[in-house]
């Protein structure tokens, strides 16, 4: 189908964008359009006003500093995938981005759009949860930073107010040489995952864990960190018993079920992808470092 | 605010038109600019039939508004070859019987055209991954991958 009629606005600044969102009724922000446009074409969404932020300067781009990485909300997924600097500083991004949609959707799709739409199976919001990212929002009262733990409000729901826009996402990179693993199971490559997991691991010379982060996505309405496991593993090595403990935690999640994948199956796959991501992060079973 | 004038380049030519703001790029190419080679399948980003190259990258033209193409450089299937002068990629599709009904073919070709410009020595696995966003209901894909590999080879020998 075709999108229902709407008025189109192309503001040239974040202030103008926020002004429009504050005054117009039933307005939606158009970023990369890879989720909103299908919803509009299917008439699942019928905004009266579309506020296209593609021409707002300053919203796209990567700033990689020593202790902080900042990604502009309008940075295209294809640009993130292509960035060697990002792959060096936070290699989990390249591992994950290969699973984000398809070549044609990555060309337009943005990290900010993905983090505002919040499909439960989306990879980039899961990475933001994994990295304890901060979301920089701009609204009528200026800027505010939202921590990842407060950003995810539930199914397709972020902490962004209706008259705010997301400008950037920032996080502190892990020490160089850290282990990372990313794994997801999807029915076809590029489809939304049944379940996925990502893991980061910093270890000392003896192989004991200094710090670990594990996130599971696609299972509950929002990405979930395995916080109890992350705490318990500090000071210990990742062995088969530890991996089983992490899998078990994933299998206890409150999984969603749908017409294609039942909740039990989704929980089971959650356990499998957590084990694979952790093995990869720990360099076990020939997994990438 | 419901109609807007746009200026853009399509297949190397400067073009200008006034469009309804709700019209997507695929429909504008077909109905406003008369370039009906770009096919429209699902209209919600699932099939890839509508793929065109936007500023050097393959994109789904059903998920972009025509007004968003203001100032962009668009390449469509019409920019490849002519029936009696096929591009090497089109020739490879013909040689390998990589199409049956042909509905998916413009999207396949534009996706591969953009991809092969950046990667002239892909593996079969990479080609399969790149085509994961293009659905074909006829061929079973093997012949399409064969054609992509032949086209990649032709591109390498030509340079
Ligand atoms: S018509 Fe655009 S992806 Fe199917
Ligand atoms: S040739 Fe018929 S859909 Fe691909």
Residues A195-249: tens digit of each pLDDT: 999 999 999 999 999 999 999 999 999 999 999 999 999 999 999 999 999 999 9
For residue B98 the two structure tokens come to 């990589």
Section A119-125 average pLDDT: 97
Answer yes or no: is pLDDT of A288 > 50. Answer: no
Contact A33 B63 (CB under 8 A): yes
Section A93-122 average pLDDT: 97
* In a shared domain, residues A114 and A215: no
More confident residue, A256 or A189: A256
* In a shared domain, residues A135 and A188: no
Q: Pairing state of beta strands B13-20 and B3-10?
A: antiparallel
Contact A105 B129 (CB under 8 A): no
Structure confidence at residue B1 (pLDDT): 62
**Host domain of residue A35:** 1-53+61-173
Structure confidence at residue B41 (pLDDT): 97
Work out the pLDDT band at A285, boundaries 50, 70, 90. low
Pocket-forming residues, ligand 1, beta carbon under 6 Å: B 40-43, 45-50, 60, 62
CA dist A203 and A234 (Å) reads 9
* In a shared domain, residues A165 and A206: no
Check if B73 contacts A (Cβ < 8 Å). Answer: no
* Torsion region of A212: left, alpha or beta (phi above 0 gives left; psi -120 to 50 gives alpha): beta
| Average pLDDT for chain A | 96
Contact B59 A108 (CB under 8 A): yes
Note the pTM of the prediction, 2 decimals: 0.95
Section B95-101 average pLDDT: 97
Section A276-289 average pLDDT: 78
Last residue of some domain: A147, A173, A199?
A: A173
What are the structural domains, with CATH classification, of chain B? Answer: 3-79 (3.10.20.30), 88-158 (1.10.150.120)
* Burial zone of A139 (CB within 10 Å; 0-12 exposed, 13-18 middle, 19+ buried): middle
Structure confidence at residue A19 (pLDDT): 98
Q: Name the closest-CA residue to atom 4, ligand 2.
A: B136
Section A109-128 average pLDDT: 98
- CA of B51 to nearest chain A CA: how many angstroms apart? 7
The atom of ligand 1 lying closest to the CA of B51 is 2
Q: What is the chain B residue with the closest CA to A42?
A: B44
Mind listing the pLDDT tens digit for each residue in B20-77? 999 999 999 999 999 999 999 999 999 999 999 999 999 999 999 999 999 999 999 9
CA dist B122 and B145 (Å) reads 11
Among A145, A137, A106, A142, which Cα is nearest to A124's?
A106
Structure confidence at residue A28 (pLDDT): 97
CA dist A57 and B28 (Å) reads 26
Among A10, A15, A13, which Cα is nearest to A142's?
A15
* In a shared domain, residues A166 and A107: yes
The secondary structure of residue A193, as a DSSP letter, is: P
Structure confidence at residue B153 (pLDDT): 96
| Cβ atoms A167, A13 nearer than 8 A | no
- What are A157's strand-pairing partners? A154
More confident residue, A202 or A1: A202
Tell me whether residue A288 is in a domain: no
Structure confidence at residue A287 (pLDDT): 43
Query: What phi, psi does A60 have (nearest 5°)?
Result: -115, 150
Section A155-167 average pLDDT: 96
| Cβ atoms B66, A41 nearer than 8 A | no
Structure confidence at residue B98 (pLDDT): 98
Last residue of some domain: A128, A146, A173?
A: A173
Pocket-forming residues, ligand 2, beta carbon under 6 Å: B 99-104, 136-139
Pocket probe for ligand 2: among B100, B145, B146, the residue whose CB has the most ligand atoms within 8 Å is: B100
Section A145-173 average pLDDT: 97
Assign residue A68 the CATH number of its domain.
3.30.465.10
> What percent of chain A stands above pLDDT 90?
94
Structure confidence at residue A189 (pLDDT): 82
Number of domains present in the structure of chain A: 2
CA dist A47 and A35 (Å) reads 14
Mind listing the pLDDT tens digit for each residue in A10-25? 999 999 999 999 999 9
* In a shared domain, residues A107 and A189: no
Work out the pLDDT band at B158, boundaries 50, 70, 90. confident
Contact A102 B133 (CB under 8 A): yes
Answer yes or no: is pLDDT of A286 > 60. Answer: no
Answer yes or no: is pLDDT of A264 > 70. Answer: yes
| Average pLDDT for chain B | 96
| Cβ atoms A134, A205 nearer than 8 A | no
* In a shared domain, residues A142 and A183: no
Tell me whether residue A289 is in a domain: no
How far, in Å, from the CA of B137 to the mean position of ligand 2? 5
């Amino acid at each position: 189908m075709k999108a229902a009629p709407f008025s189109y606005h192309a503001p040239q600044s974040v202030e103008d964008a926020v002004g429009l969102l504050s005054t117009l009724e039933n307005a939606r922000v158009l970023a990369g359009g890879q989720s909103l446009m299908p919803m509009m074409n299917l008439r699942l969404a019928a905004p009266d006003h579309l506020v296209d932020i593609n021409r707002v300067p300053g919203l796209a781009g990567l700033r990689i500093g020593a202790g902080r990485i900042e990604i502009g909300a309008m940075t295209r997924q294809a640009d993130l995938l292509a960035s060697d600097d990002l792959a060096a500083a936070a290699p989990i991004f390249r591992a994950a981005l290969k699973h984000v949609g398809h070549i044609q959707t990555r060309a337009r799709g943005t990290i900010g759009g993905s983090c505002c739409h919040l499909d439960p199976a989306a990879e980039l919001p899961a990475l933001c949860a994994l990295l304890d990212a901060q979301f920089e929002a701009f609204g009528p009262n200026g800027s505010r930073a939202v921590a990842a733990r407060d950003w995810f409000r539930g199914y397709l729901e972020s902490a962004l107010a209706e008259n705010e826009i997301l400008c950037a996402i920032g996080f502190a990179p892990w020490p160089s040489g850290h282990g990372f693993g990313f794994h997801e199971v999807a029915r076809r490559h590029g489809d939304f995952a049944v379940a996925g997991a990502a893991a980061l691991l910093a270890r000392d010379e003896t192989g004991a864990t200094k710090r670990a982060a594990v996130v599971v996505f696609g299972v509950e309405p929002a990405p979930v960190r395995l916080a109890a496991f992350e705490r318990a593993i500090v000071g210990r090595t990742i062995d088969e018993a530890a991996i089983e403990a992490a899998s078990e935690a994933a299998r206890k999640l409150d999984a969603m079920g749908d017409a294609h994948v039942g909740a039990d199956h989704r929980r089971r796959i959650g356990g499998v992808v957590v084990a694979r991501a952790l093995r990869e992060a720990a360099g076990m079973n020939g997994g990438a470092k | 605010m419901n109609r807007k004038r746009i200026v853009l380049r399509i297949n190397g030519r400067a073009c200008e038109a006034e469009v309804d703001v709700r019209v997507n790029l695929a429909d504008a190419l077909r109905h406003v600019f008369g370039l009906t080679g770009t096919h429209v399948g699902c209209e919600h980003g699932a099939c890839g039939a509508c793929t065109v190259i936007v500023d050097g990258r393959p994109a789904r033209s059903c998920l972009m508004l025509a007004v968003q193409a203001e100032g962009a450089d668009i390449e469509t299937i019409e920019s490849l070859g002519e029936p009696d002068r096929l591009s090497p990629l089109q020739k490879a599709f013909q040689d390998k019987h990589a199409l049956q009904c042909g509905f998916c073919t413009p999207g396949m070709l534009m996706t591969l055209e953009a991809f092969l410009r950046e990667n002239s020595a892909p593996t079969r696995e990479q080609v399969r991954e790149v085509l994961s966003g293009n659905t074909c209901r006829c061929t079973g894909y093997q012949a399409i991958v064969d054609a992509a590999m032949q086209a990649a080879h032709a591109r390498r020998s030509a340079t």
